[in-house]
Chains A and B, each alone.
Chain A
Amino acid sequence: MKIYVCVKQVPDTSGVVAVNPDGTMNRSKMPTIINPDDLNAMEAALTFKDQNEDCKVVAISMGPPQAAEMMRELLAMGADEAVLISGREFGGSDTFATSQIVAAGIHHMGLEKEDMIFCGRQAIDGDTAQVGPQIAEKLHLPQVTYAVDIQKDGDTLTVRRALEDGYMKIQVQTPCLITCIKELNEPRYMTVKGVLECDEMPFTILDYEALKDEPLIEADTIGLKGSPTNIFKSFNPPVKGVGMMLEGTEKEMANDLAARLAEKHVI
């Protein structure tokens, strides 16, 4: 059994965000992390591996060559193999084109009857939650998103899928694709042994040359040119005037606030 875990390297927005003069984010100046939900997908795969000797975990990502560092971390965490899809031809892809390329990468490496693909629900830089389901569609696999529990019995998977007001329990057959949310598990850290050994472990880069014969790879379905969506305009919300700091004792501030709210008909 093989489990592919789709992973994305994202800028860490929990700390200081570097901003360009035009207000866009300066990604090159920001520290990067493994997308949080993807760590839950990774943990789910490693849990299966802990319980099944014949389970192989393959971490797969698409990104610039710098993402190699993240792939080493995933190996140190316990992945058996790491694959980075990287190439100029793939740049500028929206979710449609990205899923096309990642699906081609998985198809290239092969998907057997008992195999699974785990993804994080969404990446914190785009928050779209689209790439997982779109990979599933392109590989003609059943999908279950928002997984909070995954049980496998042979080629049958029973997944608890979170809804806003409860959950549903869904049964699908492998091969299939599951997207994971943080309630699923507590991701593990890299092991010392893993860190020491990860440089020796199988790490592959798949470039355009390696994938160009895949049926899903066509000039009009990948990269910027193959992306159905384009940015029409990006802009900053209007700068808010500096707010007013109220002064005085607690009581005076509170009375001042209440008067201003009443004047604005807020209360």
Chain B
Amino acid sequence: MSEYNSSAIEEFSGIWVFCEQRDGKLMPTDFELISEGRKIADQRGCELTGLLLGSDVEGIAAELGGYGADKVIVCDDPALKVYTNEAYTNVVCDMVKERKPEVLLFGASNIGRDLAPRCAARLHTGLTADCTHLDIDMNTYVDFLDKNSNVDVANEKFKMEDVNLKMTRPAFGGHLMATIICPRFRPCMSTVRPGVMKKNEYDSAAAQKCAVEVVKPGIDEKELHEKVLEVVKEAKELVDLVGADVVVSIGNGASKDVEKAKALAQELADALGGGVVGSSRALVDAGLMSADRQVGQTGKTVHPKVYVALGISGAIQHKAGMQNSELIIAVNKNGSEPIFEVADYGLVGDLFKVVPEMITAIKAAK
């Protein structure tokens, strides 16, 4: 292995995606990331590699090929069965130092956000958190700006030969978007929010062609300083706010009968094609809704096809979590609430009266 120097950027090539497994199963974010990685690898004209750590996980590796990976490196060791920061950081950094990928992506899960910053610090490179858009090619980046920003791209000069990974993320709760680059060091690293990137169509022929290389890092467990005593799955109902096509959220306007509002919201979500019920921070802070349903800056960021805000005033921190939804419908008693500034359609009225009519009308119109 030649000396590792993160600033010798010309020595680095290839796109890598860290693929997370729990209980020997790949995570849905892996497929989104591999799909996004495919896009970037095609822009760069290079290979896309999945990096999978675990114990006896060789068998699940090829599935990543079905979403676009050319190759999967499986680091197999009993000590990697369950995630620990220490062992995973050691193995990921050793692999990067040996093979020198140009780009390394992680899912922004509780594990990805524990591992990626530590690796970036050790590898002496930059890391951009929670990205919502990635590009290498300048043409596609300018095209993205044209469609998704108020930048007048026709009258702006861009350095078209730029090949840095352009990592775009909401800054300050979505008031502003920022594109970050890491020009002097490699790999360019970013974490990507779950549910943001589009998953490719699964291609079983590609999965069969995917090359799988098994690496045995040979970890001495006695050398590790971190011990996992147990992993407990809580039998709580998982609320997939981020991945839902329809999110119907309730706020303070629902506080007189939250249970009823919740039932109405679910029924409306079902009428709109199926979805989940979200909540404003106010109801979560009041203990009326569980924290996993919270939409907003301190909760989840969602961008469903349809977002319905019922009895939500639209504080900035709430808008930060939902304003990029494709279509927004707001129902509120007070027509001057800020939620109507981001809504495509506004209905002024009591949600307990309006929503049953909405359900009836939508069912009838289908």
Q: Interface 1/0s, chain A 111-138, versus B by CB < 8 A?
A: 0000000000000111111111110111
> Complex Cα distance A241/B323, Å?
13
Closest chain-A Cβ to B99's Cβ sits at a distance in Å of: 20
Whether the Cβ atoms of B316 and A230 lie closer than 8 Å is no
B218 contacts A by Cβ under 8 Å: no
List, in ascending order, chain B residues with CB within 8 A of A254's CB: 347, 354, 357-358, 360-362
Beta-carbon nearest neighbor of A22 in chain B: B176
Closest chain-B Cβ to A217's Cβ sits at a distance in Å of: 15
If the complex has contacts A169-B232, A245-B340, A253-B354, are A24 and B111 also in contact, measured as CB distance less than 8 A? no
List, in ascending order, chain B residues with CB within 8 A of A251's CB: 357, 361
If the complex has contacts A246-B346, A254-B357, are A166 and B234 also in contact, measured as CB distance less than 8 A? yes
A66 contacts B by Cβ under 8 Å: no
Q: Interface 1/0s, chain A 155-194, versus B by CB < 8 A?
A: 0001001111111111111000000000100000000000
Whether the Cβ atoms of A236 and B229 lie closer than 8 Å is no
B305 contacts A by Cβ under 8 Å: yes
Closest chain-A Cβ to B107's Cβ sits at a distance in Å of: 11
List, in ascending order, chain B residues with CB within 8 A of A196's CB: none
Question: Which residues of chain B in 285-340 are interfacial with respect to chain A, using CB atoms and an 8 Å cutoff?
Answer: 291, 297-298, 305-306, 315-317, 323-324, 327-330, 335, 340
> Complex Cα distance A267/B245, Å?
12
Question: Which residues of chain B in 101-147 are interfacial with respect to chain A, using CB atoms and an 8 Å cutoff?
Answer: 109-111, 113-114, 116-118, 120-122, 124-130, 145
Whether the Cβ atoms of B229 and A145 lie closer than 8 Å is no
Whether the Cβ atoms of B126 and A94 lie closer than 8 Å is yes
List, in ascending order, chain B residues with CB within 8 A of A165's CB: 22, 233-234, 236, 238
Per a CB cutoff under 8 Å, which of A163, A170, A232 touches B164?
Answer: A232
If the complex has contacts A163-B110, A258-B361, A260-B345, are A127 and B129 also in contact, measured as CB distance less than 8 A? yes
B185 contacts A by Cβ under 8 Å: yes
Total chain A interface residues with beta-carbon distance under 8 A: 79
Q: Interface 1/0s, chain A 1-43, versus B by CB < 8 A?
A: 0000000000001100101000111000000000010000000
> Complex Cα distance A193/B194, Å?
46
> Complex Cα distance A137/B92, Å?
14
If the complex has contacts A94-B126, A95-B127, A133-B114, are A266 and B327 also in contact, measured as CB distance less than 8 A? yes
Main secondary structure of the interface of B (DSSP, over half): mixed
Whether the Cβ atoms of A229 and B347 lie closer than 8 Å is no
Question: Which residues of chain B in 230-256 are interfacial with respect to chain A, using CB atoms and an 8 Å cutoff?
Answer: 230-234, 236, 238
> Complex Cα distance A259/B362, Å?
8
Whether the Cβ atoms of B149 and A237 lie closer than 8 Å is yes
Residue from B150, B231, B354, B361 having most chain A Cβ neighbours under 10 A = B361
> Complex Cα distance A127/B176, Å?
13
Closest chain-B Cβ to A165's Cβ sits at a distance in Å of: 6
Whether the Cβ atoms of B180 and A231 lie closer than 8 Å is yes
Residue from A96, A126, A144 having most chain B Cβ neighbours under 10 A = A96
Per a CB cutoff under 8 Å, which of A13, A130, A168, A264 touches B129?
Answer: A130
> Complex Cα distance A24/B175, Å?
8
Per a CB cutoff under 8 Å, which of A125, A158, A164, A244 touches B109?
Answer: A164
Q: Which of B51-59, B63-71, B220-228 contacts A (4 or more CB under 8 A)?
A: B220-228
Beta-carbon nearest neighbor of A221 in chain B: B124
List, in ascending order, chain B residues with CB within 8 A of A232's CB: 164, 166, 179-181
Total chain B interface residues with beta-carbon distance under 8 A: 97
Closest chain-A Cβ to B343's Cβ sits at a distance in Å of: 4
Question: Which residues of chain A in 210-262 are interfacial with respect to chain B, using CB atoms and an 8 Å cutoff?
Answer: 227-240, 242-246, 250-251, 253-255, 257-262
List, in ascending order, chain B residues with CB within 8 A of A267's CB: 271-273, 362, 365-366
B349 contacts A by Cβ under 8 Å: yes
A143 contacts B by Cβ under 8 Å: yes
Whether the Cβ atoms of B229 and A169 lie closer than 8 Å is yes
B82 contacts A by Cβ under 8 Å: yes
Closest chain-A Cβ to B174's Cβ sits at a distance in Å of: 8
List, in ascending order, chain B residues with CB within 8 A of A237's CB: 148-150, 174, 177, 323-324
Whether the Cβ atoms of A243 and B328 lie closer than 8 Å is yes
List, in ascending order, chain B residues with CB within 8 A of A136's CB: 118
B216 contacts A by Cβ under 8 Å: no
> Complex Cα distance A238/B82, Å?
43
List, in ascending order, chain B residues with CB within 8 A of A228's CB: 120, 124-126, 182, 184-185
Whether the Cβ atoms of A145 and B114 lie closer than 8 Å is yes
> Complex Cα distance A204/B347, Å?
56
If the complex has contacts A17-B316, A130-B127, are A238 and B148 also in contact, measured as CB distance less than 8 A? yes
Interface residues of B (CB under 8 A from A): 22, 82-86, 89, 109-111, 113-114, 116-118, 120-122, 124-130, 145, 148-151, 164, 166, 171-185, 225-234, 236, 238, 271-273, 291, 297-298, 305-306, 315-317, 323-324, 327-330, 335, 340-349, 353-354, 357-358, 360-362, 364-366
16 chain-A/chain-B pairs, Cβ below 8 angstroms: A96-B120, A126-B129, A137-B122, A143-B85, A145-B85, A145-B113, A170-B228, A229-B182, A230-B182, A231-B179, A237-B149, A251-B357, A253-B349, A258-B358, A261-B362, A267-B271
